[in-house]
Amino acid sequence: MSGDELGSVGRIPQSSNATPATVFRSIEAWQPTLLMDEAETYVLGREELRGILNSGHTPASAYVLRCQGDDFTPQAFSTWCPKFFALIGELPSTLEDRSICIRMRRKMKGEHVKKFVKGKADGTLAILRSKMARWASDHLQALRDADPDIPTELHDRAADNWRPLLAIADAAGGEWPERARAAAVVLAAQQSDDPQDHGLLLLQDIRNIVLWDEDNKITTERLVNRLIGLEERPWADWKRGRPMNGSDLAAMLRPFGLRSTKVRVSATQTRQGYYLTPFHDVFQRYLRVGPEQAEQPEHGDDYDDDPAPQTFERALRHLGSITVGVKWRPEE
């Protein structure tokens, strides 16, 4: 769906560029659905704009403060509205964490898609817009009070983000409740493959490495060697062609409260490493889906399992404020 199509079915200011000030002032003035096209050219790397867009995730925090007038009177500006981002590449992780991502692929030569001609569709879309507005008005209070059942596959943030769409699906009835929940599970799983969240990818790989270890400890050297031996993972080419080392590993585990210490490897020798008991609590808190059921390898050090990483699912917005990130990636 293009910006023209979206603009035809709702109050959507379409923008291919915007400053932080124009974003929050537009939201305050119009309460729009905001479509930010070509977002990779002006959202990425702009921390002030990202902070404003992040703030619009829940009603209570969806404000920014700015001083106004000659006497610099503080004034609150709302950032509460649905938002669409269309871009090539990846959203910043904090925005993607608040978004449902619809990944687009390049059309093959043999695939045919009906072209959208805005002028010819205006009448049909105007009727659709009117019906949507009436339906929303009729069901607004019920949607605000709704507490829909959430698929267990969704993480807490994803559950919060999907809640308004699931409430809408339940209110629509028919096949929509089932279809919406199926879509939520599939899209959340696709987002869980996002390579940006290296910390959670690291936890996933460590869990599968130590899955078959009967010992309650592992040396840093052995753990690093196992990590960099995994195929299709970033650890072997971690920093400008250099593989991950023990210091890199320690830095990535530190935010999870996991720290290396001296572990005994023989009666007379100790090495730097990790006791595994603290990892189990972290695994349960951050890795929502258990490891794949695989047979125990005959040779532990040769085990090279490579399941899809189970990261924080990133999704939508709370009731009334939805963010959808539309990303294009070329076919591999």
Q: How many CB atoms lie within 10 A of CB 283?
A: 20
Q: 52 and 128: one domain?
A: yes
pLDDT in tens, 22-35: 999 999 998 888 88
Residues 173 and 67 in one domain: yes
Q: Across-strand partners of 84?
A: 35, 324
In terms of domains, do 100 and 184 share one?
Answer: yes
pLDDT of residue 215: 81
Share of the chain above pLDDT 70, in %: 80
176 lies in the same domain as 88: yes
Helix axes 118-145, 156-172, angle to 10 degrees: 110
Rounded to the nearest 5 percent, the helix, strand and coil shares of the chain are 45, 15, 40
Domain encompassing residue 289: 198-302
Of 12-16, 70-74, 233-237, 318-322, the least confident: 318-322
Mean pLDDT across the chain: 80
- How far are the Cα atoms of 102, 154, 237, 303, 311 from residue 286, in angstroms, in the given order? 24, 12, 25, 23, 8
Tell me if 230 sits within 8 A of 205, measured CB to CB: yes
| Residues in the chain, overall count | 332
Please indicate, yes or no, whether residues 223 and 181 belong to a single structural domain of this protein.
no
Report angle CA 318, 183, 202 to the nearest 5 degrees.
Answer: 80
260: pLDDT confidence band, cut at 50, 70 and 90? very high
Is residue 216 domain-shared with residue 250, that is, in the same domain? yes
Residue 325 is assigned to a structural domain of this protein: yes
Which is more confidently placed, 215 or 317?
Answer: 215
Residues 6+ apart with CB under 8 A from 264: 217, 270
Q: What is the mean pLDDT of residues 162-176?
A: 96
Helix 198-210 and helix 246-253: axis angle, to 10°? 110
- Maximum distance among all Cα pairs of the chain, rounded to whole angstroms: 83
In a domain, 320, yes or no: yes
* The pLDDT of residue 317 is above 50: no
* Spatial CA neighbour of 55 closest among 30, 75, 35, 77: 77
In a domain, 116, yes or no: no
pLDDT at 62: 93
Q: Is residue 112 part of a domain?
A: no
- Same domain? 59 vs 79: yes
Residue 261 has pLDDT above 80, yes or no: yes
Overall number of domains in the chain: 2
Q: Is residue 308 part of a domain?
A: no
What average pLDDT does range 128-143 have in this prediction?
93
Give the pLDDT confidence score for residue 196 in this predicted structure.
47
Residues 252 and 143 in one domain: no
- Amino acid in the structure at residue 162: W
pLDDT above 70: residue 310: no
Rg (CA), the chain: 24
Between β-strands 73-78 and 100-105, what pairing exists: parallel, antiparallel or unpaired?
A: unpaired
- The residue written with tokens 């971690």 in the block is 238
Return the percentage of the chain with pLDDT > 90, whole number: 40
- Determine which of 59-73, 202-216, 218-232 has the lowest per-residue pLDDT on average: 202-216
Residue 261 in any domain: the answer is: yes
What 3 state SS string does 169-218 have? HHHHCCCHHHHHHHHHHHHHHHHCCCCCCHHHHHHHHHHHHHCCCCCCEE
Residues 276 and 318 in one domain: no
* Confidence category of residue 279, pLDDT binned at 50, 70, 90: very high
How much is the average pLDDT of 202-228? Answer: 89
Asked, for residue 157, whether it belongs to a domain, the answer is yes
pLDDT of residue 308: 33
Do 95 and 14 lie in one domain? The reply is yes
Mean pLDDT, rounded, for 270-291 = 83
**Does position 65 have pLDDT exceeding 90, yes or no?**
yes
My answer on whether 36 and 175 are in the same domain is yes
- According to the model, what pLDDT value does residue 288 have? 61
- What is the pLDDT at residue 10? 52
Is residue 240 domain-resident?
Answer: yes
Q: Compute the average pLDDT of residues 273-300.
A: 68
Within this chain, do residues 189 and 203 fall inside the same structural domain, yes or no?
no
Check residues 74 and 92 and name the one with the higher pLDDT: 74
